[in-house]
């Protein structure tokens, strides 16, 4: 059986990669069963299994399927498995004959959502503050050394390079990444769109008027970017709440991030 520390270390690595995981723990054992109370197994959203709680492939395969279902639904669950050659109404038959039952609690653990803020100016700052309060793992990228400072963004990873495209190239983005482009300068905004539009990020939004958006989308089409990828871009960024000040615009941006995150979970 795997040691709990090994399971937790594996969970931390998977969560660090932006993967959702299900921690399966035996919370009750009555009679004979393939493992003891407290035994743990980890299932990642892509089906990877780490550790074992015994019972052979038959039992663990069934538990894996239930764990993946819990991950998809985003809800923890408790299941009782029967090991006596049958099952009552509230039990799941494993097909094994150990003679007892085991209750397994499946807890779903979500990784911290990642937010990439492109730009470090007046709108980027309140956006960072609100997203930080909500628990986002934040990266801020820019070529403006005077505004991209730890004093302004103390809990964020900062990526600076006077070569803006090089700075963008250092950003890691994946399926759990939300990207908010709030730089404002068309040349920089276009560079950021080109960097992220082909990535399968959870969200890609950009600040700007509808006229500006139309011009940027037109350039992306000339670049050969697929229409499906272009349609994923949210712009102008933020929910329509009539925002005018930088703080109000930041509220609308973060509200849209939360809406997207909750509706996709």
Which of 87, 109, 131 is where one domain is finished? 109
Q: Which residue is associated with the tokens 């905004």?
A: 189
Do both 98 and 196 map to the same domain?
A: no
Report the distance separating Cα 51 and Cα 18, nearest Å. Answer: 20
Which helix (H) or strand (E) element contains residue 191? helix 186-196
Q: Residue 120 belongs to a domain with what CATH number? A: 3.40.50.720
Residue 215's pLDDT band (cuts 50, 70, 90): very high
Q: Are residues 80 and 37 in the same domain?
A: yes
Alpha-carbon distances, residue 89 vs 25, 76, 80, 93, 223 (angstroms): 22, 20, 10, 10, 59
CA triple 43-45-47, angle to 5 deg: 60
Helix, strand, coil percentages for the chain (3-state, nearest 5): 35, 25, 40
Closest to 54 (Cα-Cα) out of 104, 14, 8, 5: 104
Cα(129)–Cα(53) distance, integer angstroms: 43
| pLDDT, tens digit (0-9, with 9 covering 90-100), for 14-44 | 888 888 899 999 888 888 767 788 889 899 9
Dump pLDDT digits (tens) for 237-252: 999 999 999 999 999 9
């Amino acid at each position: 059986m795997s040691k709990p520390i090994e399971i937790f270390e594996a969970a931390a690595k998977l969560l660090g990669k932006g993967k959702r995981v299900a921690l399966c723990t035996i919370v009750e054992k009555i009679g004979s069963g393939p493992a003891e109370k407290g035994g743990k197994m980890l299932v990642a959203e892509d089906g990877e299994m780490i550790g074992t709680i015994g019972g052979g492939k038959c039992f663990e395969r069934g538990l894996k399927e239930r764990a993946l279902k819990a991950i998809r639904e985003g809800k923890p669950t408790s299941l009782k498995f029967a090991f006596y050659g049958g099952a009552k109404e509230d039990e799941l038959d494993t097909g094994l004959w150990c003679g007892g039952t085991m209750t397994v609690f499946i807890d779903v653990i979500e990784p911290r959502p990642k937010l990439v803020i492109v730009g470090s100016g007046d709108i980027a700052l309140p956006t960072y503050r609100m997203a930080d309060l909500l628990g986002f793992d934040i990266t801020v990228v820019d070529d403006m050394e005077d505004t991209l400072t730890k004093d302004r963004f103390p809990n964020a990873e900062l990526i600076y390079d006077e070569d803006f495209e090089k700075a963008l190239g250092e950003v890691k983005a994946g399926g759990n990444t939300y990207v908010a482009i709030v730089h404002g300068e068309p040349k920089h905004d276009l560079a950021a769109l080109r960097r992220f539009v082909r990535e399968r990020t959870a969200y890609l939004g950009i600040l700007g008027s509808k006229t500006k958006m139309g011009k940027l989308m037109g350039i992306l089409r000339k670049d050969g970017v697929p229409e499906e990828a272009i349609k994923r871009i949210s712009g102008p960024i933020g929910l329509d709440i009539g925002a005018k000040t930088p703080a109000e615009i930041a509220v609308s941006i973060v509200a849209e991030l939360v809406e997207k995150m909750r509706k996709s979970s």
